[in-house]
Chain A
Amino acid sequence: MNLEDIYTELIAEHARSTDNRRRLEHATIVERGHNPSCGDEITLELEIADGKIVDAAFNGAGCAISQASTDMMIELLNGRDVDDAKRRAQLFIDMIKGKITDENLLEAELDEAATLKNISTMPARVKCATLAWHTLLTSIDRRDQPVDR
């Protein structure tokens, strides 16, 4: 495994990007995700209307992989139907767990997030990569609960 296969230009860019780091005025979901072993933290905000994610953003601090992965997730899922978002989030988690390896499928469904595939060979970093996606799935399951900032 080479450093370049993990810390790609794309990941470095997404980790630094501030495009999706903001708070949503009309968030219907605010969910915190936390990786206690290394201290990665994100707060995911979603605005869901008529079964569709109409806006999404996050704030957080953590390693490059967790932050880049969160940024990529928001770019991929913003604007999609909730069910479609759930399906793709599960696909991403399965990719990181090494269960799905079909590159054509992964690129078609996950776009840039598919470049995180190499993390599946690094057990110590799996939690970093999947933090945002697990947080998204949890938040969608709890979407009927009132927003708690």
Chain B
Amino acid sequence: MSDKNFLRDFPILNQKMNGKPIVYLDNGATTQKPESVVRSICGYYGGCNANPHRGAYQLSVRATDIYESARARVAQFINAPAPASIIFTKNATESLNLVAYAYGLTNVGAGDSIVITVSEHHSNLVPWQRVAQARGAALEYVYLNPDGTLNDADIERKISARTKIVAVTHVSNVLGLKNDIKKIADKAHSVGAVVVVDGAQSTPHIPVDVQALDADFFAFSGHKMLAPMGIGVLFGRENLLDAMPPFLAGGDMIEYVEEQSTTFAELPQKFEAGTQNVEGAAGLHAAIDYIQAIGFERIEAIERRLIDYAIPKLSALPFIELYGCAPSVIEKKTGIITFNVKGVHPHDVSTILDLEGIAIRAGHHCAQPLMKFLKQNATCRASFYFYNTIDDVDRLIDALKKVRKVLRLEP
């Protein structure tokens, strides 16, 4: 199957923007959805919709089956030991907040430390800032080497006897570099801390095995991996989840409710209060099926080919500044390229590219501390997925050549 054949499954990518075929390069923000995912949602509402876990009638049983089989599929997908260790949330942000509030506030005290990295997305940063503030703990940052990789010596220094939580992204949403989670987990566990992994940018692109990573918690979003928006996942070790208080309270997460006290349901229901996003779970199930039918080996090879083609082309343009693309880090690189056009604000770049039908991201990418570290107010980001083509890269390069001319910086 050639790259072009994927486009048959994504009708949205077969349209024109400003009279030009669309080139969608904002997959780090959200991916498009194949028809099989859209069909799974229609199929759920067309024949299976009822409130799961509640009714004793056939439709409710069907809805429950769809919801719980999605959970089992997710567990298998990331090699979690059991479906009970998979909590459905609305996205990675909610998953990380669940850990921060239910685990963090319970287990972090005055004088303790929480260690994160400077390349975290705000969703794996602001919740920890709030926990640290609420408990009088220190929030410490692991900084980067000049090439954008995590500084190993700083990891050793910052993770100390007083560290209770180490929260780290698997792949940076700005630099696109993979972090060695196992190594960080080993260090965290050696001081008795837990490791919380933000897998939003890794799970769609590389195989994830939460047991091999030795992650205590692992969060990701469905919508960045072909599934609908509004469904996310938290994996947690069962013994940790069992000991944690609930995050949200209400229906479905209880066992017995008395006037003044409540006992809570077993995992995973304990963390899934209220009616859940069954259509989202159905869509996520279909998305995983689609991804596994292609296989990560193939997905990684396609993204690698795009990166290997794009980076030298971009480097050859004298007016382009690249971040996290040095030869020393290419092995750790996923399909994200962050850059600036010299003398042009990223927002202008993205407007000019948009008029050429090309969608990229411009801004601080919800990573303001990292922007400060890079000494940039904002950057442009092109992020690929397996349905992108070499032709898309050529269109990007051609459009970038126009940017400085449009702004009269060049004749």
Give the B-binding residues of A (Cβ under 8 A): 1-3, 6-7, 9, 12-13, 15-16, 37-41, 61-66, 122, 124-125, 128
Q: A6-B351, A61-B377, A62-B377 are contacts. A38–B407 as well, Cβ < 8 Å?
A: no
Does the CB pair B347–A63 fall under 8 Å? Answer: yes
- Report Cα–Cα, A9/B344, bound state, in Å: 15
Which 10 pairs between the two chains have the least Cβ-Cβ distance?
A63-B345, A39-B378, A63-B347, A39-B377, A12-B408, A38-B347, A38-B363, A63-B348, A7-B406, A64-B348
Q: Point out the residue from B18, B344, B362, B407 that lies within 8 Å of A1, measured CB to CB.
A: B18
Q: Provide the residues of chain A in CB contact with B347, threshold 8 Å.
A: 38, 40, 62-63, 65, 125, 128
- Report Cα–Cα, A75/B408, bound state, in Å: 22
Q: A39-B363, A39-B371, A40-B347 are contacts. A3–B352 as well, Cβ < 8 Å?
A: yes
Q: Provide the residues of chain A in CB contact with B352, threshold 8 Å.
A: 3, 7
Does the CB pair B377–A64 fall under 8 Å? Answer: no
Q: Which residues between 332 and 367 of chain B lie within 8 Å of chain A, taking CB atoms? A: 344-348, 351-352, 355, 362-364
Does the CB pair A7–B18 fall under 8 Å? Answer: no
Q: A12-B407, A15-B407, A61-B377 are contacts. A7–B364 as well, Cβ < 8 Å?
A: no
- Report Cα–Cα, A78/B377, bound state, in Å: 29
In the complex, how many angstroms separate the beta carbon of A18 from the nearest chain B beta carbon? 14
Does the CB pair B408–A124 fall under 8 Å? Answer: no
Other than the given A38-B378, A39-B364, A62-B345, 4 more pairs (CB < 8 A) read A7-B406, A9-B408, A39-B363, A63-B348
Q: A1-B355, A15-B407 are contacts. A65–B348 as well, Cβ < 8 Å?
A: yes
Does the CB pair A2–B346 fall under 8 Å? Answer: no
Q: Provide the residues of chain A in CB contact with B371, threshold 8 Å.
A: 39
In the complex, how many angstroms separate the beta carbon of A16 from the nearest chain B beta carbon? 8
Write 15 A-B pairs (CB below 8 A) sorted by A numbering.
A3-B355, A7-B352, A7-B406, A9-B408, A13-B408, A15-B407, A38-B345, A38-B378, A39-B363, A39-B364, A39-B377, A41-B377, A62-B347, A63-B347, A64-B407
Q: Provide the residues of chain B in CB contact with A38, threshold 8 Å.
A: 345-347, 362-364, 378
Does the CB pair A64–B344 fall under 8 Å? Answer: yes
Closest to B355 in A: A3
Q: Provide the residues of chain A in CB contact with B406, threshold 8 Å.
A: 3, 7
Q: Provide the residues of chain B in CB contact with A9, threshold 8 Å.
A: 408
In the complex, how many angstroms separate the beta carbon of A128 from the nearest chain B beta carbon? 6
Q: Point out the residue from A15, A16, A37 that lies within 8 Å of B363, measured CB to CB.
A: A37
- Report Cα–Cα, A64/B407, bound state, in Å: 8
- Report Cα–Cα, A12/B362, bound state, in Å: 20
In the complex, how many angstroms separate the beta carbon of B275 from the nearest chain A beta carbon? 32
Q: Provide the residues of chain B in CB contact with A61, threshold 8 Å.
A: 345, 377
Q: Provide the residues of chain B in CB contact with A65, threshold 8 Å.
A: 347-348
Q: Provide the residues of chain B in CB contact with A15, threshold 8 Å.
A: 407
Q: Chain B, 157-175, contact with A by CB distance < 8 Å: what is the 0/1 string?
A: 0000000000000000000
Q: Provide the residues of chain B in CB contact with A64, threshold 8 Å.
A: 344-345, 348, 407
Q: Chain B, 386-406, contact with A by CB distance < 8 Å: what is the 0/1 string?
A: 000000000000000010001
In the complex, how many angstroms separate the beta carbon of A96 from the nearest chain B beta carbon? 15
In the complex, how many angstroms separate the beta carbon of A11 from the nearest chain B beta carbon? 9
- Report Cα–Cα, A20/B90, bound state, in Å: 48
- Report Cα–Cα, A3/B403, bound state, in Å: 10
Chain B CB within 10 A, most for which of A13, A37, A38, A65: A38
Closest to B402 in A: A3
- Report Cα–Cα, A9/B406, bound state, in Å: 9
Q: A38-B363, A39-B377 are contacts. A2–B348 as well, Cβ < 8 Å?
A: no
